[in-house]
């Protein structure tokens, strides 16, 4: 019988893979045996894993032998190529690649919402960690509705390049440099100019629309499991902004009663949401980088201390950090169901 958990990170060289690897070293899985896997071009690269340096290995037919959890942080096509090998080996998949959501039996998971009814079981093979934006919105809406019922709410999501991996960051950088040097722009990934620009879509690419649909779907899934009584139905729009990392959220709220900012702020602040007061720097991409919490500022629409039913929330969070922490929380939930040291 094995004494430690065995974890595989597929797509270990990706932005999500690197962030997850780092987050695992600070988690309850810090003593786990971790293997780093990726496609052929990344094999042999040295990556830190806890206090040790580990080489990235090639994915082959026996990569998932005795692996408890495989975090797929790879490109979707890599996930689709290898996920059945993991399932056949008895490994539970935690998919951060957005490739397996349509597979039968996959479960959207958001363990930080303590009153969420978990659908995980010993037979669960594929877990989909809720999109970081869906999780952030759900955490805030759940807290606010302990105070008053929300009559209307909408969220505009300001999405960074890192949501689409290293290639998107590289192309944004190359576009910026090209524009400053009056050169033609590379548009291989985005299909249009995103540097010094804000766009609701990527030319002919469906990527941005798919992200918006995924966020809505995950938010609805979390809301449904809670019975719908503790979370408002939000309008959600995603726009892509020319930044490398960090998500911004602009949220408009209208409640069915007059409230003070202090009362609503007391409800908003919690374990995973840090309320930023007016007399300090507002939440932004730089201040939220590397932070495990959502940084939020609340203000009445009328900018008055008098009670009102309309408020704005401006929030920022590290999208890669929050995504990794939620994925690890999913594994923690699965760990409670899975006997430690189980031989596959």
* DSSP of 129-159: EPPHHHHHHHHHHHHHTTTS-EEEEEEEEEE
Are 334 and 70 in contact, with CB atoms under 8 Å apart? no
Confidence bin at 2 (pLDDT 50/70/90):
very low
Residue 96 lies in a domain: yes
Specify the pTM.
0.92
Q: Mean pLDDT in the chain? A: 89
Structure confidence at residue 344 (pLDDT): 42
Residue 344 lies in a domain: no
pLDDT over 90 at 122, yes or no = no
* CB-based burial label for 157 (10 Å; 0-12, 13-18, 19+): buried
Range of the domain at 293: 134-319
* CB-based burial label for 253 (10 Å; 0-12, 13-18, 19+): buried
The arithmetic mean of pLDDT across residues 87-102, rounded, is 94
Shared domain for 76 and 43, answered yes or no, is yes
Residue 228 lies in a domain: yes
Residue with tokens 């609701």: 200
Percent of the chain with pLDDT over 90: 72
* 115 compared with 121, residue with greater pLDDT: 121
Residue 215 lies in a domain: yes
The arithmetic mean of pLDDT across residues 117-122, rounded, is 67
Beta bridge partners of 54: 47
Shared domain for 124 and 139, answered yes or no, is no
Confidence bin at 286 (pLDDT 50/70/90):
very high
pLDDT over 80 at 146, yes or no = yes
pLDDT over 80 at 137, yes or no = yes
- How far, in Å, CA of 30 to CA of 82, rounded? 25
Shared domain for 10 and 157, answered yes or no, is no
pLDDT over 60 at 116, yes or no = no
Shared domain for 120 and 140, answered yes or no, is no
Per-residue model confidence as pLDDT tens digits over 184-240: 999 998 999 999 999 998 877 777 789 999 999 999 999 887 655 578 889 999 999
Shared domain for 151 and 180, answered yes or no, is yes
Shared domain for 111 and 169, answered yes or no, is no
pLDDT over 80 at 114, yes or no = no
Per-residue model confidence as pLDDT tens digits over 164-180: 999 999 999 999 999 99
**In this structure, what DSSP letter does residue 268 have?**
H
Shared domain for 60 and 164, answered yes or no, is no
Q: In terms of Cα–Cα distance, which of 96, 123, 128, 85 is closest to 14?
A: 96
Indicate if the alpha-carbon torsion angle 332, 337, 339, 342 is positive or negative: negative
Distances (CA, A) of 236 to 131, 142, 214, 292, 309: 13, 16, 11, 23, 20
Confidence bin at 41 (pLDDT 50/70/90):
confident
Residue 120 lies in a domain: yes
Shared domain for 57 and 163, answered yes or no, is no
């Amino acid at each position: 019988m094995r004494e430690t958990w065995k974890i595989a990170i597929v797509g270990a060289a990706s932005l999500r893979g690197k962030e997850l690897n780092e987050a695992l070293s600070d988690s309850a899985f810090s003593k786990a045996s971790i293997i780093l896997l990726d496609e052929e071009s990344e094999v042999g690269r040295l990556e830190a894993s806890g206090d040790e340096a580990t080489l990235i290995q090639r994915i082959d037919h026996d990569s998932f032998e005795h692996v408890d959890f495989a975090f797929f942080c790879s490109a979707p096509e890599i996930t689709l190529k290898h996920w059945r090998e993991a399932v056949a080996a008895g490994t539970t998949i935690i998919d951060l690649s957005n490739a397996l959501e349509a597979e039968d039996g996959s479960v959207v998971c958001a363990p930080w919402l303590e009153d969420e009814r978990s659908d995980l079981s010993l037979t669960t093979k594929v877990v989909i960690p809720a999109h970081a934006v869906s999780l952030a919105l759900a955490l805030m809406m759940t807290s606010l509705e302990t105070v008053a019922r929300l009559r209307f709410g909408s969220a505009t999501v300001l999405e960074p390049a890192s949501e689409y991996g290293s290639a998107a960051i590289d192309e944004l950088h190359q576009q910026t440099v090209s524009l400053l040097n009056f050169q033609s722009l590379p548009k291989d990934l985005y299909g249009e100019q995103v540097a010094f620009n804000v766009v609701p879509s990527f030319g002919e690419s469906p990527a941005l629309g798919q992200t918006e649909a995924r966020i809505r779907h995950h938010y609805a899934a979390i809301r449904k499991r809670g019975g719908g009584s503790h979370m408002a139905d939000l309008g959600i729009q995603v726009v892509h902004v020319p930044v490398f990392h960090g998500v911004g959220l602009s949220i408009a709220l209208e409640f069915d009663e007059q409230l003070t900012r202090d009362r609503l702020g007391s409800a908003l602040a919690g374990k995973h949401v840090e309320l930023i007061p007016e007399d300090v720097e507002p939440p932004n991409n730089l201040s939220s980088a590397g932070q495990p919490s959502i940084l939020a500022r609340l203000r009445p629409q009328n900018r008055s201390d008098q009670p009102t039913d309309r408020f704005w929330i401006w929030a920022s969070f590290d999208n890669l950090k929050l995504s990794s922490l939620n994925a690890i929380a999913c594994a923690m939930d699965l760990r409670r169901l899975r006997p430690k040291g189980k031989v596959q």
